[in-house]
Amino acid sequence: MKKLLSLVLLVGTVGSAQADLEDLLVSQLSVRPATAEFIEIHNTGGTTLDLTDVYLTDATFANGSVYYYQLVDGAGGGGGFADFYARFPAGASIAPGEKQSIGLNGSDDFFAEYGLVPTYELFEDGPVADAVPDMLEATPGSINGQGGLSDGGEVVVLLHWDGVSDLVDDLDYVLWGDKVEAIDKTGVTSGVSTYANDTPIASQDVVDTGAHADGNAWIRIDDSEGTETQAGGNGIAGDDETSENTGTTFSEGLADPAGDVFVPIDYFLINEIDAVSSGADFIELLGDPNTGTDDYTLVLYDGVTDVSTAVISLDGMSTDANGYLVINQTLEDGADAVALYNAAASNFMVGDPITTTDLMDAIVYDSGQADDAELLALLNPGQPQVNEDANGDALNESLIRCTNGSGGFLNTSSFKAFTPSPGAENADCVTFDGYYDTADPTNAQTLRDSLHEIIDDHCVFNYSGPDAGTCGEPGVSEDTWSILSLADEDPQQPGQVWMVYKNNNYPFMGGGQQAYNREHTWPQSYGFSSGTLGSNNAARTDAHHLMMSDVGYNSDRGNLYFDDCNAGCNERTTDVHNNPNPGGGTIGGGSGTYPGNSNWFDANSFEVWNFRKGDIARAMFYMDVRYAGDTAGEVDLQLVERADVGLIQSGNPYMGILEVLLAWHESDPVDDIERNRNNIIFNIQKNRNPFIDHPEWVECIFVDGGTCPVVDNDLIFADDFE
């Protein structure tokens, strides 16, 4: 169906900081071979340009009434017919004179073709995130793990929009093939504004009528954009980007994209080790499938001498079809370390001191020995030394990342002692057998009381500042920051934390003053403030209701109770980011039309966006049952109905509104994001949110006359939460 390619750079209403965006041009385009597709941009001016709100898409099809400028309405296509609609990562920029490339088939194929890594990849193409920044979704599902430019022509759009304006401003427009998908938005009204004149489609120029040769690209040879009309158009400063004579400002030549000389970093991590075994010790790496490990080296360090005891060259080895490489190697029991370096074995010798030069990943471990401060310097600050004998069964257990590949490079918080799985996916470390055996669903009261006894008395960790918690497990040192860094880690971008209300993410930087903070979904002023019960009281530090939040959105929420918005509410939009459960409205941007997929609030209440409604509701049900005031230092928390909303006041242990939370629970069922979060918190706090495992119990406890179903532990856990 695709016949034409048009490349457009867009910007919304531009302030002074973006006045030089007209200097941003498309400088190179490659459409074949398919695995080598890329788009290159060039900052021809003298000012660093912010790319945060610049987008890229080929999702424009005139015959199908799909247009790039529909982005302002939360539309514009992407995700089908190999079309994509992407946004540059937050904070991305391009320096004066710099060229940057976007690998449309991922960084691995780009490197295989050009021997370089691109500046950005359209999507992550490996099982483990690499160091190449991924483009973000412009609209839900709009990348969908695919690029794919048609040889005969189609539409590609590189765009910038400020997220507020009802018009977009073109920066550059490059067209080839026939003109089926060309755009002329002359006189099109969007919101309250109308577009100026574009060049009529019949008069628009094309770079070429067909595709270039394999290995070639269309390369810009005229940065002045030729005879482009400089007034009265829809671009920056009134430029008419659709009028460029691209047939003479571009020429076909050997593809020469911008990129970095390949440095094979972030392709492999240590996924499992077994140092105390009844069989053979081993080290397992996880990385891209069928990928060679030449010039990678494993170094073993001894904690007594703090020098290397073995150097293992990985030359000539390769991961298997599933990304695993298992090295059989005798390991000392601990305290010791295994370190993976992005450097040849010739750079290391036995007896060398500890070094972090070219360090890629490491694990510091023991089997009951004290922490070794010198070895811990191999890890990111605050990461623990992990104990293979934590369960008293080191001979039969190994140290594995829970879940597979989780935690990120130089982080060990996700390692647990569990059943060995060399060359296979790690289990999720959740031992749940019999967890709900004592649950009694005879009626609402018996179920409430029995569940309270099951989830009560969990391991309580510090609110800020790692400690061993009330469980006192050897080698475990956490606080709510470190717990949430795992529980709210972005599943698509390891090392980033995902915001509950704004639906954006930030690199995890630890505690303190960041762009994110910890949201008490049950406000601490409603029953368990630090001034009343102490800064580390169980409810205040309970990760089942604590969630990472953008600071501004957390401030908007304050201690408002949860309710649907009626009228006159303020809108707080969601970002175009992860949408793991698509459907139900547009994610990203503000429609101004209730409810959309925005958050809404007034002076009394806060309505959460659609994808998080059930998450919040089930956190509230958990808090109501977990905290019954039967333990010293704990409060009896209670959800109330609308008729009792007056009880929800600072200092009172009440929250609501119950009937609204029940509706949210029904409208947004439990998903894998919640299940994984429940598992992670269970691994640390040692208690679960039963309403994620058994959502049917909500009706039994919280609905008058509700059904109380029989417990079936085996059924609930049959799929091991995969």
First to last CA, the chain: 38
Distance of alpha carbon 588 from the chain centroid: 15
Whether 650 and 579 have beta carbons less than 8 Å apart is answered as no
CA 77 to CA 60: how far, in whole Å?
7
Contacts of 118 (CB under 8 A, 6+ apart): 38, 101, 102, 103, 107, 110, 132, 257, 258, 259
3-state secondary structure of 93: strand
* pLDDT tens string 668-684: 999 888 988 998 899 88
Quote the tokens at residue 437: 């055996």
**H-state helical runs in 277-425:** 373-376
CA 381 to CA 377: how far, in whole Å?
8
Is residue 610 classed exposed, middle or buried when 0-12, 13-18 and 19+ CB atoms within 10 A define those classes? buried
Whether 213 and 204 have beta carbons less than 8 Å apart is answered as no
* pLDDT tens string 237-251: 788 888 989 889 999
Strand ranges across the sheet with 599-601? 561-562, 605-607, 599-601, 570-572
DSSP letter string, 182-248? ----TT-EETTEE--PPPPGGG---S-SSPPPTTEEEEE--TT-TT---SSSSBGGG--GGG--HHH
Could you give phi then psi for residue 330, rounded to 5 degrees? Answer: -70, 130
CA 246 to CA 4: how far, in whole Å?
14
- CB neighbours of residue 145 within 10 Å: 12
Residue 595: per-residue pLDDT: 84
DSSP-assigned beta bridge partners for residue 603: none
Q: Are strands 654-655 and 638-639 parallel, antiparallel or unpaired?
A: parallel
What parts of the chain have a pLDDT lower than 70? 1-19, 80, 126-129, 230, 260-267, 427-433, 472-476, 492, 513, 576-591, 710-722
**H-state helical runs in 293-428:** 373-376
Q: Where are the domains of the chain?
A: 11-261, 268-418, 444-716
Residue 265: per-residue pLDDT: 40
3-state secondary structure of 658: helix
